[in-house]
Amino acid sequence: MKIREKFTCPLELTHDVIKGKWKPIILWRLRLGEMSLSKLEKDIQGITQKMLLEQLKELMEFGFVNKKVYNGYPLQVDYFLTEPQGKRMIEALSIMQQIGIDFLLDRQSRAPIQE
């Protein structure tokens, strides 16, 4: 994904960053600290290595994620949130997470009792 040049408002820019099925989840995972591709792949159920790499690449282009390469054997690469941009995004995602939780609770309380 290329970064857009024209925006009506800055919100659109940020929305671009977390657009897509996986990006919010990846960022959300990375709040726990830096981790390898394989760990992310294990933690995020349903994602393929390919998707993960694609999305991480885009997040890096936007400057919200970065990576460290350890030249050892086996080769290891760790991904992490950038400071302050990546970390800042977690603030927004935290609220979204809470909204989601509240939504589910609220919905549950209205749901018919299942016996």
Partner DNA sequence: CTGGATCCCGAATGATACTG
Partner DNA sequence: CAGTATCATTCGGGATCCAG
Please count the other Cβ atoms lying within 10 Å of the Cβ belonging to residue 16: 17
Partner touching 50 among a second copy, DNA, none, CB below 5 to 8 Å by kind: DNA
Alpha helices in the chain (DSSP H): 10-17, 23-30, 37-43, 49-62, 85-110
Among 31, 34, 44, 77, binds DNA (CB under 7 A): 77
Of the candidate spans 3-11, 14-22, 88-96, 102-110, the one that interacts with DNA by CB under 7 A turns out to be 14-22
Q: Long-range contacts for 39-44 (Cβ within 8 Å, ≥24 apart)?
A: 40/79
Task: Give the H/E segment covering residue 51.
Answer: helix 49-62
CB of 37 to DNA, least distance (A): 4
Q: Is 29 in the site for DNA (CB under 7 A)?
A: no
Give the interface with a second copy as residue ranges (CB under 8 A).
Answer: 7-15, 17-19, 24-25, 28, 44-46, 63, 85, 88-89, 91-93, 95-104
